[in-house]
Chains A and B, each alone.
Chain A
Amino acid sequence: MRIELAVILSLIMGACSNGLMPIGYCDELSGRDAKAPTFEQDVLAILNVHCLRCHGHESRQDGLDLRSPSLMMRGGVHGPVLVPGSARSSLIYQKVSSRSMPPKDAPPMTQAEIESIRHWIDSGAREGQPSAAYYESEARPVTSEERDFWSFRKLEPPQLQEVSRASVLTSPIDALVFEELEPKGLTLSPPADRIALLRRAYFDLIGLPPSPAEVDEFLQDDSEFAWSRLLDRLLASPHFGERWGRHWLDAVGFSEVRGTDYNQELDRKLDYAPGMWLYRQYVIDSLNQDKPYDQFLTEQLAGDELIDWRSLPKLTEEARELLVATSFLRTAPDLTWDPPDNTLITRMGVLNQTVETVANNVLGLSLECARCHTHKFDPITQRDYYRLMAVFTPAMDPHGWLTPHDRDVQHEKLVLHAVYDVSLSPPTWFLRRGDHLTPGPTVEAGFLSVLCDDEAQTSRVVSEPAGSTSGRRLALAKWLTNPTGRAGALTARVRVSRIWQQLFGLGLVASSGNFGVQGERPTHPQVLEWLASELVRNDWQLKPLLKSIMMSAVYQQTTSSQSASSQATSDSVDPDNRLLSRMRVRRLSSEAIRDAMLATSGALDLAMGGPSADTEVLPSGQVVFPVKKESSSSHVRRSVYTLARRNFYPTLMGVFDQPSMVAACSCRESSTVVLQSLTLLNDEFVMEQADVFAGRVIREADESTESRIRHAWRFALARDPNEEELRSSGRLLQQQSDRIRNAIVQSDTLDSSSSVDVSEQNVSRQALACLCQVLFNTSEFLYVE
């Protein structure tokens, strides 16, 4: 069914056409008695105390909503309750003056309060005009200068033929980066060595290290297409989605906990979201398929509006997938499943965070300020904020709220955490100072003015959804992904900047969550513009874009400075290497560190998909994967499949900056703290994997010490040790064997009943485990060059 938005709009406007326009949008102040009482000044506070809980905020008993004069005139099941100019004819006054309202068990109104209501109605039941200045700032029009800010402009692909040195550089990216370097006296560094490149590509694309066989294969391929073929193979790997899906899951605040997750004990029955792993699977699969970004976004914002799922006798696979996609809008912590927390303010909190996640993840803008007042820096008005919120209220109406469990859709044995419209056009109020106790006028759905060309575009929230639904979110998705518009341009810029961030450690816009006025300017504006245009040109597909970046000389640069003089130049003009005159050394992410240890030891279970691997909080506070007695290998699966708690993630991952998922995270930290060192030295998992790794080396190497050292090196660091490293590793094995042998002998004499394995095999395996653990601790293991 096509929803006639025009009809809905006229309904809203109709309610306001009695000379009682919602405040702010018309000018009828002139000639008014300045002393006449107004709704906001004289009546709203009284109604708040005595009436609105049952007739407005939490419920609307008898269909009656008293939050504004226009709503009073619309009335409830007993008809309108307000007749401006005549208190005696107004049902609301009759009820309160006869003391039949508020009900007997509630605090009574004082005589003065009843008198205030009478006086207000008799003098015309005026709505207060907020001061002109208030609305000028909170609902002011956005100017064309503001729309001209770099990130709010339409896409302007750079003219490549004007780049003078394009011919000597291998890709447009190189030419455009060089344009930034040259004026500073900097240039690109030569390519990294092949092993560094290989590790870089593996970790960047699939989040795993290359195996020794894969290293050999690449090193032996001396064709000029070796690199290109490698990238193609990695981009086609199913593990690509696990790596790149994780980036997306960060940015949406993915969690399998419904609430805020501050207690170690997770309430598995009520607080755990049993079907959220389906969304993770959807994200991973979508990235593996290279689903175009516009489609990917549209499904997540409005999958339920793409198919008339409610009319289906049984959910099809496609319908199920589209409903799962909308779990994107279910990531904000939602405590309303717990009745005492199911309050208007908590519901508003869920809605606010959902709007914020969408805006921040897709547009790189923070809207939080605009909840309470027009943004101080960005041209985002408070009115814009509530208009955007109105896009979501048909699905998430604070006044007609569904608790998380009620919102879930049961499908066979699966629980789909979907979002879908529950009413077609609920009123959405502009909240003065962001406070639900002081609602202002209702607003119609709209987009952000600064990302529209004019007011007509801002309020054109129109789409052709399938089924009985408002189509507002579908319209939002179309607006966000229209490549010729301002919003679509920003969507593309944010996407490519964040792709760049994953490959270079820093986005083209370094302030990943802020592309607004207070954010940083792009380090390479032309590169950003070119890539954003390329993304659109490639039908919003990521993989071709990734390949073109990784084929560039910029990506393939070495991380080392070439000479003292070039180092001196870059230190003085670009000390943080923001312009990329060499590649940045980057620490692996928390998942990649754990996965790399498992891959190196050979214990990694690469099984894809399905429910999460469970975690357990020990009495010490340490969070671990419980090792199951049966043959389950879920504790050695890839880290992306870890039970996604908001706070209680495995300690090993926590110390390496696994982000808290209480809110979405657009850019992870990469810290260097002492707890990382302690963890890699002492953690049970690390020690266990070092031991498993030692066992693997013993199996695959021949019995010579040198062969074992070489194997260990190749598994962990993808290269052979040099002579010095061989020598010092050999020395370590010798020393540790002696120590371990002595310790065993000592403990054996102390306690002859223990069955200590004194065999040389055991001694050398334990000594080898020491070397293996040292390798896990090296910077070379933890970083990609």
Chain B
Amino acid sequence: MWNSLSRRGMLELAGLGLGGVALETLLTGERIRAGDSVVKGHGLRPKPPHFRPRAKSVILMMQNGAPSQMDLFDPKPELSRRDGQFHVEKVETFQKGSENNRLAGTPFTFRKYGKCGMDFSDQVPHLASLADQWCMVRSMHTHHNNHTEALVIFTTGKFLHGRPTLGSWVSYALGTENQNLPAFVVLRDPKAYNNNGTRLWENGWLPALYRGTEFASAAGRPPVLNLRPARSLPEGLQGDNLTLLAELNKSYLARHPQESELEARIVNYELAARMQLAAGDVADISQETEATRRLYGLDNEVTASYGMRCLLARRLVEAGVRFVQVLQPGHQPWDTHKDTKGKLPEIARQVDLPSAGLVKDLQQRGLLDETLVIWGGEFGRLPVSQNGTGRDHNRNAFTLLFAGGGMKQGFTWGATDDFGYRAVENRVSVNDLHATMLHQLGLDHEQVTWPHAGRDDTLTDPSVTNATVVEEILS
């Protein structure tokens, strides 16, 4: 489907046989230092967790823009009853247009789904059909009311830029099982960056080894840009080129034996050769059945693009990738400041079916038990109307969905006030979420450390954030 390099040709490439020593260096990162101290034993080789894990990998389905909890997951009859009235509590706003502080009920219809009776609105019927799989947390809250900061909090724990992201921490803590693919893969809409762009998968002050690798995901195209030669080449041609290249690069390295970077570059050409094969396999969906394609909505142009990312996420996890971050369609489509009634269904239609399809597919392949799926955005939305038709940002309450990875099933945790403005019962902070995620991977969040600015820093920094594992939602 792409071009000329045959599987056999690729295997020849992969067997270039450059020193295992070099590979070892890349994988164990011996020479990589943080500040003045050498961090022992880091690298991408698989590493044992601290205790028995409930999940081996994570799929984070980010919904940038803040999905509206009271229009999707958190029904508020009192809010609908008081539709149009002034709210007694002056809510915290971000943009203009909510000064009137008038309550706005949802324009959508809620009902209970599954044996557990979990609430969903009619906008996400496919997510709803999995009610008995989900663990729904309605009492999430965060520290900042703007997307930029809140997304950085969601991915790094604090609002300042420059800290490592979730996938980086996890790749560092556990390494990865497939040495032919990156440990941390990001699947974004090629048409847009999310808010913050590439910062949402940066390695911060962890070594660059742990940075997320962006895979392209347009249907029918290679998953990594430049995975295949742009021009058709005769078989074996690139292999011979690489042989000469390795020879030249090794002699250059011999002149600078102290430069581990030059060694890593040689190893990268080996990895590139192997990746052309492995990543191609991962993205080759020709063997997927019609039923599977439909499950992800590949047969429908509304869902096909996001569906392709969801399908790739499954294939990556299946291939042993540790952390997959799937991004929503467009820039921040859930940011419905106006026209909830028109805009929310638009994005829900693109996301609902493929998201549910991914969970179903993981389940039917027996992968859900070892994969933690997290679905949600950076904060929630307000109960009061913005400009009569939309909702402004709300850091005080939002809903997240979890599936697999040893979370309770068909279980709802936490509650917001009568209007959905504030999480009031069993509040869960973003930092608690992080601690819980690491816990399910068999990691003690206080023990995954990296020396930074004079101390052993962590993802959760519990002395500041009070991050705690939410035991009640674990099965």
Contact = CB atoms under 8 A, between A and B. Distances in A.
A785 B247 CA distance: 19
B198 A660 contact: yes
Contacts of A343: 94-96
A567 interface: yes
Contacts of A262: 192-195, 197, 331-332
Contacts of B272: 674, 677-678, 681
Interface stretch (A157-165, A203-211, A449-457, A776-784): A776-784
A620 B221 contact: yes
A610 B271 CA distance: 41
10 contacts: A264-B191, A340-B337, A619-B218, A620-B225, A662-B199, A677-B265, A677-B272, A681-B242, A682-B226, A773-B241
Nearest to B161: A663
Contacts of A782: 265
Interface string B81-112: 00000100010001111011110000000000
B265 A647 contact: no
Interface string A258-269: 001011110000
Interface residues of A, number: 79
Interface in A188-222: none
Nearest to A518: B453
A678 B240 contact: no
Given A45-B90, A518-B453, A683-B226, 20 more contacts: A49-B101, A262-B332, A340-B96, A559-B256, A587-B261, A617-B191, A619-B221, A663-B161, A669-B208, A674-B275, A675-B225, A681-B229, A684-B231, A736-B240, A736-B241, A739-B234, A739-B236, A771-B244, A777-B241, A778-B249
B237 A672 contact: no
B237 A770 contact: yes
Nearest to A721: B248
A744 B330 CA distance: 44
Contacts of B101: 49, 107
B176 interface: no
Interface stretch (A383-391, A462-470, A725-733): A725-733
B244 A677 contact: no
A622 interface: yes
Contacts of B342: none
B15 interface: no
Contacts, number: 201
A7 interface: no
How many interface residues does chain B have, given as a range?
35 or more
Nearest to B89: A49
Contact of A682 (B208, B230, B244): B230
B230 A740 contact: no
List the 9 closest A-B pairs by CB distance, nearest first.
A621-B190, A684-B230, A743-B234, A677-B272, A49-B90, A682-B226, A107-B86, A262-B193, A677-B268
A735 interface: yes
B257 interface: yes
B237 A740 contact: yes
A619 B189 CA distance: 10
B394 interface: no
Interface string A229-269: 00000000000000000000000000000001011110000
A340 B95 contact: yes
Interface string A729-771: 1001001100110110000000000000000000000000011
A705 interface: no
A560 interface: yes
B402 to A, nearest CB: 27
A765 to B, nearest CB: 14
B428 to A, nearest CB: 24
A399 to B, nearest CB: 14
Interface string A47-82: 011000100001000000000000000000000000
A779 B86 CA distance: 67
Contacts of B257: 561, 567
A561 B208 CA distance: 26
B190 A619 contact: yes
A742 B257 CA distance: 40
Contacts of B331: 262-263
Nearest to B276: A678
B99 A53 contact: yes
B240 A779 contact: no
B445 to A, nearest CB: 23
Contacts of A773: 241
Contacts of A48: 90
A137 B249 CA distance: 57
Contacts of A739: 234-237, 240
B259 A679 contact: no
B319 interface: no
